Structure 1
Amino acid sequence: MNQQFSPSRTSHQDVTTSSRSAFTHEPRFSLSGKLMVLIAALMILATASLFIGAKSISPGMVVDGLLAQANTTESLIIIESRLPRTLTGLLVGAALAVAGCLIQSITRNPLADPGILGVNAGASFFVLTGIILLGNHSMAEHLWLAFFGAMFTSIFVYFVGTYKEARVNPLKITLAGIAIGALLAGIASSMTLMNPEAFDAMRFWDAGSLDIRDRSLALMAVLPVLAGVITALAIAPALDNLSLGEDIAQGLGTHVRLVQLSALFAIALLCGSATAIAGPIGFIGLMIPHIARRLSGPNQLWLTLYAIVLGPLLLISADMVGRVIAVNEIRVSIVTAFVGAPVLIYLARQVTSFGKL
């Protein structure tokens, strides 16, 4: 009997080990493989962004311009326009996508993004206030103002959404974000109408564009974006615990409030930096988490890694489309709105209740 049972048990263990391998190693390899493919696609797209634009430039001139071997109009276009906007697309796309993942995670609302929750409006409002009251016009000053504006709005919306609540209420946070964002946008519009100088300073920046024409501005945002992304990756396991419910997360040793506040800090860094250098760009933070989730699954760490790549892919693609479909170019925020509005309608139709798809 024992001799007959032992092989059976061994066979069962082999099947169990094989099954465990199938559900751990193979999916991870698959996820890693898909991520590598997306990274390669992003590298190709970023390179293509240097070659494609409203003005046709030969590949040789592009290479000479990048190597500083030519002093021509084409070289200036490459160095002063296409290269900075490509770098900006990489930073802003990653920042908004990761911020969207964080916002949807802590609010458990699949329709949440930095624009819907008023974070971009808060960053824009603080930049406008600095221009009018303090006379700030440098990008460094815009960066700090946008960061503090995004931080203030994030925390304010969070506390309004959790006021007199034992836990996060996705519906209250969403409504609070929409209301506060609309209020700040209305005040900002009134301020710009009463101040022609502020209107001139804001009318191009407020539309949202990657055409910053200065590499130093993009490099200025590297550190805050990097800090926000690192924070998002660090709290990813804790956010997975939070997805099970706050009570279970606490039972697993997760400090719920600390994780939520850390997420808000990362959101403020990411949205503030992105808004400061490119202006408010909507729908990236809404669409990318859903696309990334379909490719990576619900694991927050993989979701964040995929978002880091998918955000720039979408944003640079939208910028390239805007360059070539019109003579004077279409701003990237308009192109993302054309794509994002139908996606928002589709997602809204799929939502059966707040927080569930």
Structure 2
Amino acid sequence: MKLLLTGIAVGAILEGISDGLILVDPQAFAQVRSWMVGSVDVAGFTPVAISALGLLIGLVCVLPHVGSINMLSMGDESAAALGVNVRRTRVMIVIAVTIMAATATATVGVFTFVGLVTPHIIRKLDFHSDRLVVLLSAVVGPTLILAADIAGRFLLDSELPASVVVAFISGPILIGLAQRGVHQ
């Protein structure tokens, strides 16, 4: 509990400093506002290159362990019996996911629930291998964001941020998944 409260306190202090610095610079405020609502209007090559580098580093970390992902879903003991170094595999997957998620979030902002909804969409398309789900998520997630961005530009007279469209898509899917989980 002490660690949790310390984390919340440090987060609040850093957020206060960040907010104060943003309010002083109107241009920074506009950029941060755009990032906070989730925007794919990334200006220039540099953010795209940084994002690609983060994706590449994450893939390099996870690809050697992709074959072990299905075995991990059978449980730690079964995976270990099949020769999987469970601890190392879990650590590498967490590192890879953290790098890729942090890079994507730093580049375009917060797109709520894309990471939760994407694997379920893939499974609904009859892909059940965890290995395929992970690899296809790298394609379907960005495709969902791109489709949301295009829809957001054409749905209203004014532009609707892609993150809002994603929330309208992912919210009902997650509610349906939660309801299905309650009834099983």
TM bracket, shorter-chain basis: 0.7 to 0.9
Give the match for residue 37 of structure 2: 207
Q: Secondary structure at the match of 1:204?
A: helix
User: CA 1:258–1:318 in structure 2 vs 1: closer, same or farther (change >3 Å)?
Assistant: same
**What is the CA–CA distance in structure 1 between the aligned matches of 2:181 and 2:11, rounded to whole Å?**
27
Q: 5 Å matches for 1:261-280?
A: 261-280=91-110
Provide the rounded CA distance (Å) in 1 between the counterparts of 2:75 and 2:9: 32
SS for the counterpart of 1:210 is coil
**Cross-structure match for 1:37:** none
- Percent of pairs with identical residues: 29
Partner of 2:69: 239
Aligned to 2:144: 314
Q: Is the 8 A contact 2:38 2:161 kept in 1?
A: yes
CA distance in 1, matches of 2:132, 2:33: 38
Amino acid in structure 2 at the alignment position of 1:301: R
How far apart in 2 are the matches of 1:348 and 1:294?
15
Flag the 1:340–1:228 CA change in 2: closer, same or farther, 3 A.
same
Aligned to 2:120: 290
Indicate which of 163, 167, 171 corresponds to 1:333: 163
Q: Which gives a bigger RCO, structure 1 or 2 (Cα 8 Å, sep 6+)?
A: 1
Going from structure 1 to structure 2, the CA distance change for 1:253 and 1:183 (only over 3 Å counts) comes to farther
Q: Structure 1 residues 180, 276: closer, same or farther in 2, change over 3 A?
A: farther
Relative to structure 1, the CA distance from residue 184 to residue 274 in structure 2 (aligned partners, 3 Å threshold; closer, same or farther) is: farther
Give ranges in structure 1 of 5+ residues lacking alignment: 1-159, 161-175
Aligned residues between the structures: 178
How far apart are 1:189 and its partner, in Å? 5.0
Q: Structure 1 pair 345/190, CA: closer, same or farther in 2 (3 Å)?
A: farther
Instruction: Give the structure 2 partner of residue 255 of structure 1.
Output: 85
**How far has the Cα of 1:187 moved from its partner?**
5.4
Does the Cα contact within 8 Å between 1:233 and 1:301 map onto a contact in 2?
no
Amino acid at match of 2:169: V
Say yes or no: does 1:197 pair with 2:27.
no
- Gap change, CA 1:352 and 1:182, over 3 Å in 2: farther
Distance 1:224 1:334 in 2: 25
Cα shift readout 1:249-276 (whole Å, capped 9, x = no counterpart): 1111111111111011101111111011
**Cα distance in structure 1, aligned partners of 2:67 and 2:6:** 30
Aligned pair in 2 of structure 1 residues 340, 188: CA closer, same or farther (>3 Å)?
farther
The partner residue of 2:58 within 228, 236, 245 is 228
Cα drift, residue 194 of structure 1: 4.2
**What is the 5 A alignment of 1:18-33?**
none
With the length of structure 1 as denominator, give the TM-score of the two structures. 0.45
**Residue 326 of structure 1, CA deviation:** 2.8
Q: Which residue of 2 aligns with 1:164?
A: none
| CA offsets 1:284-339 (integer angstroms, 9 cap, x no match) | 11111011123343312221232222222211110001111233311111110111
* Alpha-carbon contact 1:318-1:336 (below 8 Å) kept: yes
Q: State the TM-score, normalized to the length of structure 2.
A: 0.82
Q: Distance in 2 between matches of 1:219 and 1:342?
A: 33
Specify whether residues 348 and 190 from structure 1 end up closer, same or farther in structure 2 by C-alpha distance, changes over 3 A only: farther
Residue 37 of structure 2 aligns with an amino acid whose one-letter code is: A
Shift in CA distance, 216/193, structure 1 to aligned 2, threshold 3 Å: closer
Question: Considering only CA atoms, is the larger Rg found in Structure 1 or Structure 2?
Answer: 1
Q: Give the gaps of 5 or more residues in structure 2.
A: none
Report the RMSD for the aligned CA atoms in angstroms: 2.9
Tell whether the 8 Å contact from 1:233 to 1:304 is kept in structure 2 after alignment.
no
CA offsets 1:137-159 (integer angstroms, 9 cap, x no match): xxxxxxxxxxxxxxxxxxxxxxx
